[in-house]
Each structure stands twice: as C-alpha cells, then as structure tokens.
Copies of this chain bind each other. A is one copy, B any other.
Amino acid sequence: MPPGSLTSVGIGDDAAVVTAPSGSVVAAVDMVIEGRHFRRDWSTAYDVGVKAAARSLADIAAMGAVNTALLVALAAPGSLPARWATDLADGLAAEATRAGAGIVGGDTARADSITISVTALGDLEGRAPVLRSGTHPGDVIAVSAPLGRSAAGLALLTAAVPVPDSAPLSALVTAHVRPAPRYEAGPEAARLGATAMIDTSDGLLSDLAHIAAASAVRLNIETPALPAAPALREAAANLLPADLAADPGSSGPRNEDRAAELVREWMLTGGEDHTLVATFPPGTPLPPGWQVIGEVLLGTGVTVDGTPHPGPAGWQHFR
C-alpha cells in the first residue's frame, strides 16, 4: 500500500509515525460491516475497500482538513478468500490515494463476519477546524455535489423489477457501492470561511439536524434548489411501474408526480453520498461545484420549504 508523503514510519513497526505539520491531528473512526453496509453479491472486495475508506476520509474533509493517513483493522472469517482481502486492500489504498493519504497501519484477526474499521488522520494546514456549532442566522447552506445518488443506486439494487442496462443507471449503482466524495471541497470550504460543515452520511435532513442542534439555529432547505444527481428521474421512472401495479387505474401524470416525490426523498433522506454540506456567511462567493440550497434562520430544527418534513429524516441501512 502506498505510504502518504507525510509518513515517516509506515507499516511494519509497532506504530506508524505521521507528520502533523500544523501541530495538531484530526482523527475519525468508522466501520463497515457485511450485511449492514455492504453485501458481497452486490459489491466487489475493491468496492468495499473504497466505501470503507470513503466513510472515514469524508469525516476528515468535513472538518476542513486534508487527509494524511489511514489505519485499517480487518476482522474476517478464515474462509475469506485471500484474493478478497488483497482486492479490499487495493480499494482502500486507491481511495486513500485519491484523498492524498497513505495506509500506515493495520491489524487483522479472525471473526465470524467481516468488519472493517478505518481510522483516518488529517491535517488542518494551520486553519481552525470547521465544527457543527459555528453557524448563525443569515448564513447560507450549500452542498458540494449533487444529492441522492447512493439512495437511488440502492433502490435500483433492491428493486424486484428488471432495470434497463443503461449507463446513467449503472452510474447510480456504482455511486452506491463505490462512493467518490469530493474530499478537496472540505479544505476549500474552510478557506472560504465556512461556519459549519458535515458530510451526508446519514442523509441531508438527518445530518443537518446535527448542525441545527449544535449551533442552536433553524436550517431551512428550499427543495427547488436541491441539485439532483443525473438520472434520478430515470431511476424513479423505472422503479415506479412495479410499485403501482397494484393500482391499475393510475395514470401517467400521477406517475410523474410520484417519480418527482421519490427523487425528492432520495435527495433529502438518502445517505452515504458523503456530499459535504456547509454554511457560509451571506454573500460568500462560492466556486463551481457548490450549490446554495437554503438558509440559516432563528429557531430550532430543520425545515423543508418552511415546514417540518414528514416521515423519517434519516437513512435506514439495509438491515
């Protein structure tokens, strides 16, 4: 595995030594577990490695830090093919490299099921961390990338209906099994003066609720402003016919309404996109890739077009 450029002692001793140029280190740990975060019939081992790395790497980016190093603990059954483990390592290393980090430590042990625990380390380059608690009424809310991709991909995977073999739909499935967060948007937001930030691991509304609580404000989302990932409408249209089969009287227009609603739900509550959502002082010029989706107000909680969102705000993992 590639050591990061900031590693002075890598794998092979009792511990790694990673330089921390700005005198502090940012650290986060996250797990992926077979049957809960991935299925071996849907994801390759390489995919699982990418997803396991991305979850932790995105947490570092959400602090406004650059990633420097990963440490990986793998618990797996003795029956796991050696090839699966090396492919997993390749996926972890590839995603670490994409984020500018190296894999510097690891541990493996036998267990009944596959659990991958990834600790990511990062550096703030001298900046203050962007916390969840720093936003104020008047700030704008913006996202670093389109929303709903992973949720749509999961819906396609779980659908009982045959889905056309189209490139845009395949891209959604890929986004679910192998997320590709835009990590550099984290330090970019910090440099732009972001006042709060989080990544959408549990779903936009659910994650925004953490910022609302930590900052003691209300966050209002304007749904017309939400940037849908490409092909969400196509995915929804392909999923709905089976859904409506029990109601043969349904008409075309009604189907279109329901497709729009499904897309909206994916964007508001779908998890695992690892899109960054940040708040900025009003008037902050945002570079390409960022999209304003709402504003920070006096009050508490999260509202959608001015009203509370009905139904669960959060992401339900597939078990």
* A-to-B contact residues, CB < 8 Å: 8-9, 12-21, 23-31, 33, 36-37, 59-60, 62-63, 65, 69, 71-73, 75, 104-107, 109-113, 115, 117, 119-122, 124, 129, 131-133, 197-199, 214, 319
Contact = CB atoms under 8 A, between A and B. Distances in A.
A119 B20 CA distance: 17
A104 B27 contact: yes
Contacts of A60: 14-15
A257 B121 CA distance: 52
A123 to B, nearest CB: 9
A27 B15 contact: yes
A208 to B, nearest CB: 13
A14 B207 CA distance: 10
Contact of A33 (B17, B111, B121): B111
Given A23-B21, A112-B112, A115-B115, A107 B30 contact: yes
A15 to B, nearest CB: 4
Given A14-B63, A14-B199, A115-B117, 10 more contacts: A12-B132, A13-B63, A14-B132, A14-B197, A14-B198, A15-B122, A25-B25, A71-B119, A119-B119, A121-B121
The 4 closest A-B pairs by CB, nearest first: A20-B20, A15-B28, A117-B117, A119-B119
A121 to B, nearest CB: 6
Contact of A28 (B14, B33, B109, B112): B14
A201 to B, nearest CB: 9
Contact of A59 (B15, B23, B115): B15
Copies of this chain, count = 2
A25 B33 contact: no
B9 A17 contact: no
Q: Name the residue among A14, A23, A63 with the largest chain B CB count within 10 angstroms.
A: A14
Contact of A62 (B15, B18, B28, B124): B15
A54 to B, nearest CB: 13
B28 A16 contact: yes
Contacts of A18: 24-27
24 contacts: A12-B214, A13-B63, A13-B132, A14-B28, A14-B60, A14-B197, A16-B26, A17-B25, A17-B27, A17-B63, A17-B129, A18-B26, A19-B25, A27-B69, A27-B121, A29-B105, A29-B117, A30-B107, A33-B75, A36-B110, A73-B73, A107-B117, A111-B113, A115-B117
A12 B131 CA distance: 10
B109 A112 contact: no
Nearest to A30: B107
Contacts of A17: 24-27, 63, 124, 129
A124 to B, nearest CB: 7
